[in-house]
Copies of this chain bind each other. A is one copy, B any other.
Amino acid sequence: MDVALGTPWNRYMHDSLASIWYTPEGVGKYTYVHRVSIAVAVAQAEIGLVPAGTGEALTRALVDLDRILEIQAAGENHQLRAYLRMVQEKMTKNGDKDFLPYVHNRLTSFDLEDTATSMMLVESADLLLADLRSLAASLQKLAREHKHTLMIGRTHGIHAKPITFGKKCLDWLDMIERCRTRLETAKGEVAVGKISGAVGIFSQPPVVEEKVCGLLRLRLARVSTQILSRDIYAAFFAEVGLLTGCLEKISTDIRLGQQTDRQELEEPFRSTGSSAMPHKRNAEKCEQIKALAKDVRGLIGALFENIDTWDERALDQSATERLAFASILVTTGYMCRSMIAITQGLWVNVEQMRANIDRTNGAIYAEDVKIALQEKGIPQTAAYDLVKGPAQEAYLGHGNLIDNCLAVSEIAKLLSRQDLEALCDSKQAFRYLDEIYARFDL
């Protein structure tokens, strides 16, 4: 084989998120670590722990990721030390040698690493939030366009009562807006830094931690072990998992609608469905979202396990996170982008939606007949039992609901054919539509 290696995760890309998370050996993190280093130096200078100018010297030592990779390749197995060596080289070269003793002063690796990770997660959340805004806009557009597009509502896969496709889009929109709210909250919770040193007992005055967090616009970890407590990260990714779950639900609804037996919806079609069957128009992008949601869900489970670390820290969460954070975020970003494309290009087969409403010979209006009987004074369970026979027969293709009801004397004496015809009307789905839409300011 003459092709380079590449893991399959590269197939599902979100460029901006990938540029944060998919760097060789994860060295991209050191652009964030460096910002923390600088903030620490600035804060330490403010209280006289290091000379003024240390922060500026560090700022001049621009991060060179390729050099970090080289140092690692030359045998330095500790990533942060590889970064430090790179910085020291640069400072020496920049004539900032005098500041060398003040670099990584009174710090432990995870003062920098966890604080940097929080910054990366905040930035990732912002990118996902931008995608969610686009997705919400796309769903709003569909909801507006199809406010009065009648379709059958289904429960248990069975035709239930008419709704409109616009109303279904509001269901989806509502989920996505909940996801936005949650991700905003999650972003706030994860925006937390710690400069509490080895085992969290502080090798320098806690005021440095406070200043650093202020400079980086992070909240302060009120207390920390050598690392941030992992419930903080698990909480963030739980929200991401809720988002992928919501995308999964929307994709399933579209797949269900795209079934040949429904033909109500179709995701934008690509050139080839099946290599064997030239007629196939598959809901591949939606199926893919479902498929990816499973992997994401699995990895999030791993992050819940991670809360349980030993003592002031152990490394048994490190590789878990290295793989899961990156994979989950880039994949989730890809799923969002994919869903934006699907909803923007969705084909809504309005005629077929209308036609499908009539498949059950009026059985779907059985509840309306039941309610009308209740209003004539029949208790709920009795009214239900009266309509059940005629409705089930209609559903199974024997007659239609109106005729079947009229054949039941207890019904016929309370409701005329005209009454029944008025009840069996898909337009009822429009009755409270304005009020529902008003809740969305639409």
Query: How far is A156 from B412 in the complex, measured between Cα atoms in Å?
Result: 45
* A73 contacts partner chain B, Cβ-Cβ < 8 Å: no
> How many residues belonging to A are interface residues under a CB distance threshold of 8 Å?
196
Contact A155 B199 (CB under 8 A): yes
Copies in the complex: 4
9 residue pairs, one from A and one from B, having the closest CB atoms: A153-B199, A298-B298, A279-B391, A245-B307, A291-B319, A108-B276, A156-B282, A287-B315, A279-B363
Q: What are 14 contact pairs spanning A and B, CB under 8 A?
A: A6-B24, A101-B383, A171-B200, A198-B276, A223-B439, A234-B245, A249-B308, A253-B310, A256-B311, A261-B359, A277-B367, A278-B367, A287-B315, A288-B316
Q: How far is the CA of A224 from the CA of B291 in the complex (A)?
A: 21
CA gap between A11 and B203 in the complex, in Å = 32
Interchain CA distance A435-B200 in the complex, whole Å: 13
On whether the beta carbons of B9 and A156 are closer than 8 Å, the reply is no
Contacting residue for A278 out of B25, B154, B275, B387, CB 8 A: B387
**Are B261 and A156 in touch, CB under 8 angstroms?**
no
Task: Say yes or no for A84: interface residue by CB 8 A criterion.
Answer: yes
For the complex with contacts A101-B374, A185-B185, A279-B363, 16 further pairs of A-B residues with Cβ separation under 8 Å are A4-B24, A6-B25, A77-B270, A109-B274, A158-B281, A162-B201, A178-B232, A201-B429, A231-B242, A231-B245, A242-B307, A278-B391, A288-B316, A291-B316, A295-B324, A298-B298
By beta carbon, the residue of chain B nearest A64 is: B2
Chain B residues with Cβ below 8 Å from A137 are none
Assess whether A294 is in contact with B305, with CB atoms less than 8 Å apart.
Answer: yes
Q: Are B103 and A255 touching (Cβ within 8 A)?
A: no
Residues of B within 8 A of A336 (CB): none
Determine whether A19 belongs to the interface, using a CB cutoff of 8 Å to chain B: yes
Comparing A26-34, A53-61, A123-131, the segment that makes contact with chain B is A26-34
Q: Tell me the chain A residues, 267-302 only, with Cβ under 8 Å from chain B.
A: 270-284, 287-288, 290-295, 297-302
A156 near B283: Cβ-Cβ < 8 Å: yes
The residues of B that contact A65 with a CB separation of less than 8 Å are: 1-3
Chain B residues lying within 8 Å of A413, measured Cβ to Cβ, are: none
Q: Please, what's the 1-or-0 string for A307-325, where 1 marks a CB less than 8 Å from any CB in chain B?
A: 1111111111111111110
State how many angstroms separate the Cβ of A276 from the closest Cβ of chain B.
4
Q: Known A11-B322, A435-B205; judge A290-B316 contact (CB<8 A).
A: yes
A288: B residues at CB distance < 8 A: 315-316, 318-319
Q: How far is the CA of A396 from the CA of B102 in the complex (A)?
A: 30
